[in-house]
Amino acid sequence: MVIGIDGNEANVEKKVGIGEYAYELLLEFAKIQDERKVKFEIFLKENPRSEMPPPNSNLRYRTVGPKKMWTQFGLPLNLFLGKRPDIFFTPTHYAPRFSPIPTVISIMDLSFIHFPILFAKKDLYQLTNWTKYSVKNASKIFTISQFSKSDIIDVYGVDEGKIVVTYPGIKKPTSVRILSMDDLRKKFGIDKNYILFVGTLQPRKNIVKLIEAFSKIEKENLILVVVGKKGWLYEDILSAPGRLGVGERVKFLDFVEDDDLPSLYKNALCFVLPSLYEGFGLPVLEAMKHGCPVLTSNVSSLPEAGGDAAIYFDPNNSDDIKEKIEKVIKNPSLRQEMIEKGYNQIKKFSWEKTAKETLKVLEELASNK
């Protein structure tokens, strides 16, 4: 059995979101042994990067063109004219046009439906129309939470049996050296106890409301550290601290290398994710993995990610956010309890499990075509 996979999202330098999902699945698929009699053919529009899993007897790469409009022309033509896999899986919203074989897609979330103003017109048009086409023509749809599954059913009216939830995994803890507070002061200028946010600077993350809540906490020896690259419509976020009178107490670090994130999580009093909408909320688990108490919104998929290890608040109520933060930072025993619960929560998620569940569905579809 040969499973074709669109590997382009994994074949990029900075892998976040769908890119990380695609890459971690490929790493797990590359470990499959010969006795499974499953082979993977990874379709790319550019040659594989050095960090991609090396080809072996069960996994090989197939670079095809033309690059322009690859999913609409280059990929379908190759599927029609070349040697066909038994099934084709794309870890994105975009199924190949006119696929001659059963196709499976993945949809992380439908944020473009609920927050269209946050997307460029060209991207919104593509997401809206191509996702609709892909949902209609896919044999199965993977998604990453029960919340997203319900959302897809509501928006597109598909049968729930067509959608399979496979929770994303979480990277195993590494042996990266954890920096001390003194090290953090030297490297990032963090010289006080701090609350941490990690995520792209964009309106959906609701960072302005977090800053508003933070401005109501009267602790001079406390700062808010915001880690994340500038996304879109971020100007209001950057101006919020000055407008709310906490310009000296909010520190924006922009993008931080993966090796430094564990230290930022480990030394924080707590991690706060006030997002208005998440397909899953992987940063919640990342924080728990590194022993950081988590507070997050009580909406969308976030309670699925946090379970009973997180404390939840109304993301539209800055007073509620403020009260929950104060409850955690003033109570060391509560923080320790949350840390222990967090370690138990992350045991439920692994990329190995995600890959096995994904492969089972693909094999069943290929066998029944």
Helix axes 207-215, 318-329, angle to 10 degrees: 60
pLDDT for the residue 174: 62
Interval 97-118 mean pLDDT: 92
194 lies in the same domain as 146: no
Tokens at residue 73, please? 């022309």
**What type of residue is 201?**
L
Does residue 174 belong to any structural domain of this protein?
A: no
Provide the terminal-to-terminal Cα distance of the chain, rounded to the nearest Å. 12
Q: What is the pLDDT of residues 202-232, one digit of tens each?
A: 888 999 999 999 999 988 799 999 998 888 7
315 lies in the same domain as 204: yes
Q: What's the CATH code of the domain at 227?
A: 3.40.50.2000
DSSP, res 323: H
Looking at every residue in the chain, the average pLDDT score rounds to 92
Interval 325-337 mean pLDDT: 97
213 lies in the same domain as 312: yes
158 lies in the same domain as 244: no
23 lies in the same domain as 112: yes
Does residue 335 belong to any structural domain of this protein?
A: yes
Does residue 176 belong to any structural domain of this protein?
A: no
157 lies in the same domain as 198: no
Distance (Å, whole) CA 146 – CA 164: 9
pLDDT for the residue 140: 97
- Asked if 266 and 178 count as a contact pair (C-beta separation under 8 A), the reply is yes
354 lies in the same domain as 329: no
Q: Does 175 score more than 70 pLDDT?
A: no
Our count of domains for the chain comes to 2
136 lies in the same domain as 242: no
Residue 35: pLDDT band (50, 70, 90) is low
**What type of residue is 91?**
P
What is the percent of the chain with per-residue pLDDT over 90, rounded to a whole number? Answer: 75
Domain that holds residue 241: 181-346
Does residue 260 belong to any structural domain of this protein?
A: yes
- Give, in order, the Cα–Cα distances in Å from 33 to each of 21, 25, 30, 127: 21, 15, 8, 36
187 lies in the same domain as 309: yes
Bigger pLDDT: 311 vs 121: 311
- Asked if 91 and 18 count as a contact pair (C-beta separation under 8 A), the reply is yes
Place of tokens 């404390």: 311
88 lies in the same domain as 69: yes
The string of DSSP letters for 169-230 reads --PPP--PPPPPHHHHHHHH---SEEEEEES-BSGGG-HHHHHHHHHT---TTEEEEEE--B
- Give, in order, the Cα–Cα distances in Å from 259 to each of 44, 186, 256, 263, 317: 28, 16, 8, 8, 34
